């Protein structure tokens, strides 16, 4: 009977776990809808701003701007790594962190000095425990503050670039493609790179007033902030999608385990009953 009791307790424990994972799946699904709407709503603005910048550069010809110029620094690299603060989201953080580590190791092998800015507990813990240079750690981030956080990061990078503190700056994040797909991405944000080869038949039909240099002076910092902000939104949407998928798998696995344990319990119970009946019959025949 001890075996039956242990199996029954284990079934109860797995049922409690299933309730938790099911509740977490529902919470992640609700957050995912909001995060997806925010990321989707912001993306057309970023794409339109990028097209406007491309047209301005194409129409203005040779344009100089500090955010487009390569700093006088050939050794230092800055990477802002965007991860989640919480776990239970499958391989969402692991796939990004492995990619960033490979890229960082390659940069170090080329003689570069890489400085990491960690946004999220998972990225900070991962690189700190492995001896990498984590210059800053921003933990327990509130999605409502992403706009302010992105602005501060953009201002910091622009200030450091003006002081030639790095050669290039990157943002590492999971690009949200769908509920099942989040693509680990390492995007260069400074110096900014504009696709001037993009075909646009309307590029030469515009006359800009004021000139292209002044327009870029206003639009480039805006584009940088928008790109970083979009990275935070993509990270939030991807995190909730990965957590919902992970909790859905955990719930289904718990159900399968409950079914398996229930079968074991019923067989053991049936065997115990059969043994008792055999003993009773044998005792009656002995009398």
Per DSSP, the three-state class of 27 is: helix
∠ CA 151-152-156, nearest 5°, is 120
Taking each helix axis as running N to C, give the angle between helix 146-162 and helix 212-286, from 0 to 180 degrees, rounded to the nearest 10: 130
* CA neighbor of 49 nearest in space, from 234, 236, 218, 235: 218
∠ CA 14-16-20, nearest 5°, is 110
Which tokens go with 184? 């680990």
80 bridge partner residues: 117, 171
* CA neighbor of 123 nearest in space, from 160, 70, 86: 86
Question: Which active-site residues does the annotation give?
Answer: 89
CA–CA distance, 181 with 242 (Å, rounded to integer): 8
**186 Cβ neighbours under 8 A, 6+ residues apart:** 79, 99, 100, 103, 170, 171, 172
């Amino acid at each position: 009977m001890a075996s039956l009791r242990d199996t029954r307790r284990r079934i109860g424990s797995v049922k409690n776990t299933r309730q938790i994972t099911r509740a977490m799946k529902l919470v992640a699904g609700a957050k995912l809808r909001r995060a997806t709407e925010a990321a989707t709503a912001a993306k057309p603005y970023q794409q339109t701003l990028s097209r406007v910048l491309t047209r301005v550069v194409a129409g203005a010809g040779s344009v100089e701007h500090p955010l487009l110029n390569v700093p006088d620094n050939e050794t230092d690299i800055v990477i802002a790594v965007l991860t989640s603060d919480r776990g239970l989201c499958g391989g969402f953080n692991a796939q990004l962190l492995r990619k960033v580590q490979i890229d960082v190791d390659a940069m170090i092998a080329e003689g570069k000095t890489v400085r990491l800015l960690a946004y999220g507990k998972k990225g900070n813990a991962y690189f700190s425990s492995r001896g990498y240079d984590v210059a800053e750690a921003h933990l327990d981030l509130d999605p409502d503050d992403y706009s302010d956080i992105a602005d501060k990061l953009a201002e910091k990078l622009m200030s450091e670039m003006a002081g030639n503190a790095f050669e290039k700056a990157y943002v590492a994040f999971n690009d949200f493609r769908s509920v099942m797909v989040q693509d680990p991405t390492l995007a260069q944000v400074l110096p900014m790179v504009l696709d001037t080869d993009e075909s646009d038949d309307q590029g030469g039909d515009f006359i800009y007033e004021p000139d292209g240099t002044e327009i870029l002076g206003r639009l480039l910092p805006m584009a940088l902030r928008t790109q970083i902000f979009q990275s935070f939104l993509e990270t939030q949407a991807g995190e909730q999608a990965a957590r919902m998928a992970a909790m859905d798998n955990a719930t289904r696995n718990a159900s399968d385990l409950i079914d398996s344990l229930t079968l074991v319990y019923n067989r053991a119970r049936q065997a115990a009953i059969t043994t008792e009946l055999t003993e009773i019959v044998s005792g009656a025949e002995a009398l």
